[in-house]
Amino acid sequence: MMESRKKELNSRLFLDEENCIPHFQPIISTVTGTILGYEVLGRIFSGDTQSYTSLGAFFHNPESNFSEKVQVDRIIREKAIRYLKNTGANTKLFFNLMPNILSGIHQEESLDPSRFHLIQLIEKYNIERQNIVIEITEEEFSGKVERLVRMIDLYRSYGFKIAIDDVGAGFSNLERIGYIHPDIIKVDIKIMRQSLENNSFRQVLQAISEMALKLGSELLFEGIETEMELTLGFSMGASLLQGFYFSKPQTEFQNKRVFSEELRTSLEKFSGIRFMELLEESQRQQYIIDSLTEALHLIQEDTKITDKNSCVQLINESLEKFPTSIREIIVTDINGYQISPTYLRFDDEQWDILSRDIGNNFAWKPFFIKHKAEGFFFKK
């Protein structure tokens, strides 16, 4: 009985329009240094504690009443759009969209744009369409992906931008990227933080960054709280930034340039450090190229080297001459067939033979094709 009464009171609190307040967390453009827009986040106000509580748990709780979710979501959306209209600000609003809720509302076969609540609000308040971004959140989706794509395409045809949230958090997300081809990819905060400590996660993050670049999607790093995470965002090519490092969600918009000076300083610091790192890396690579080119030059000109065995012998005798940055060596012929053992450096000094396999083909490997092409430019 008490539990039922508590749920009833909570429902009344949620459904009281006065208690549902949109909050706005700024999203900053790395390019301009200004606030590009705001993610709209639902908060519920408690008169007893005079504080706000996130509605995230309410929306993601499968036991929450579906109709109440829809009603609260619509209250938050309309208040946010009305506020945008009243301020006259030229800024973007990012709205979270849960696929299951969207699919549950629009079950008819024929999709009518005039029945989509967000489109109704844009028409009602005469808001610029390009200022609306739809964020597809990560969750288990029980409907048909093809139908979800149709609804998203409807939003896109109307002029809205499409973002996919929490990329890296779930495997289904990668499939959605292929279907949806988002304008913006938001990186999952967990994989971002794990990448700072684990190289495997960093490689996954790098792959997401490269994927965004190839798709022509902007990369948004959310959840940034520290300077180290900000630097990671820079290094991965994030054009959009969001998190407590800049600002917590607030009830009002902020000055568009409030973070410009701080971001400019951070970018200049990052650029200077990164430039020196790349300069040192270029010098190391040039040293490696010179060393390898010299070794190959000797192989070509040494009259004693008449077969592959002689070549392998020369490599064996030259291992200690290779710079410590080289950790593994495989020698192949021009067609990619392995003619030497696989040498692996287990520490800065000691080389060992990892495998004696001969005849394996590496012609299909991207690094082989790359090195083969580079070889034509570094001949002596």
Nearest CA to 75 among 120, 14, 136, 131? 14
Per residue in 183-216, pLDDT (tens digit) is 999 987 777 788 788 888 888 888 889 999 999 9
Listed residue (186, 121, 184) closest to 156, CA to CA? 184
Please count the other Cβ atoms lying within 10 Å of the Cβ belonging to residue 228.
12
147 and 237 together in one domain:
yes
Other CB atoms within a 10 A radius of the CB of residue 171 amount to: 7
Q: How confident is the model at residue 8 (pLDDT cuts 50, 70, 90)?
A: very low
Q: Return the pLDDT at 6.
A: 43
51 and 115 part of one domain: yes
How many separate helices (H) and strands (E) can be counted in the chain? 13, 12
Of 293 and 159, more confident: 159
The total number of structural domains that make up the chain = 2
Among 192, 227, 258, residue at a domain's last position: 258
For residues 41-62, give the mean pLDDT.
87
Q: Are strands 184-187 and 218-221 parallel, antiparallel or unpaired?
A: parallel
pLDDT score for 139: 63
pLDDT in tens, 216-273: 999 999 999 999 999 999 999 999 999 999 999 999 999 999 999 999 999 999 999 9
- For 12-45, write each residue's pLDDT tens digit: 555 678 889 999 999 999 999 999 999 999 999 8
Both 133 and 39 in a single domain? yes
- The answer to whether residue 268 is domain-embedded is no
Instruction: Answer yes or no: do 80 and 207 share one domain.
Output: yes
In a domain, 265, yes or no: no
Identify the domain boundary among 216, 232, 258.
258
Say whether both 194 and 303 belong to one domain.
Answer: no
Residue 157 shares a structural domain with residue 190:
yes
- 230 inside domain: yes
Q: Is residue 151 part of a domain?
A: yes
Whether residue 380 is predicted with pLDDT greater than 50 in this model: the reply is no
Q: Is residue 116 part of a domain?
A: yes
Indicate if 14 and 137 belong to the same structural domain: yes
Which candidate, 157, 166, 40, places its Cα nearest to that of 95? 40
Residue 17 belongs to domain with CATH number: 3.20.20.450
Q: In terms of domains, do 17 and 163 share one?
A: yes
Establish if 267 belongs to a structural domain: no
Q: Angle, nearest 10°, between helix axes 171-180 and 145-157?
A: 50
Do residue 291 and residue 253 come from a single domain? no
Q: Does residue 101 sit in the same domain as residue 187?
A: yes
pTM, whole model, 2 decimals? 0.79
More confident residue, 353 or 255: 255
Among 231, 258, 285, identify where a domain stops.
258
Whether residue 167 is found in the same domain as residue 224: yes
* Phi, psi angles (nearest 5°) of residue 332: -125, 165
- Measured between alpha carbons, how far is 97 from 91 in angstroms, rounded to an integer? 19
- Summarised one tens digit per residue, pLDDT across range 103-129 is 767 666 667 788 889 999 999 999 999
Is 254 a member of any domain?
yes
Write the DSSP symbol of residue 297: H
Q: Is the pLDDT of residue 100 over 70?
A: yes
Q: What is the pLDDT of residues 72-96, one digit of tens each?
A: 999 999 999 999 999 999 999 999 9
Looking at the structure, tell me whether residues 111 and 185 fall in a common domain.
yes
Q: Is the pLDDT of residue 67 over 90?
A: no
Residue 263 within any structural domain of the chain:
no
Domain of residue 28, residue span: 2-258
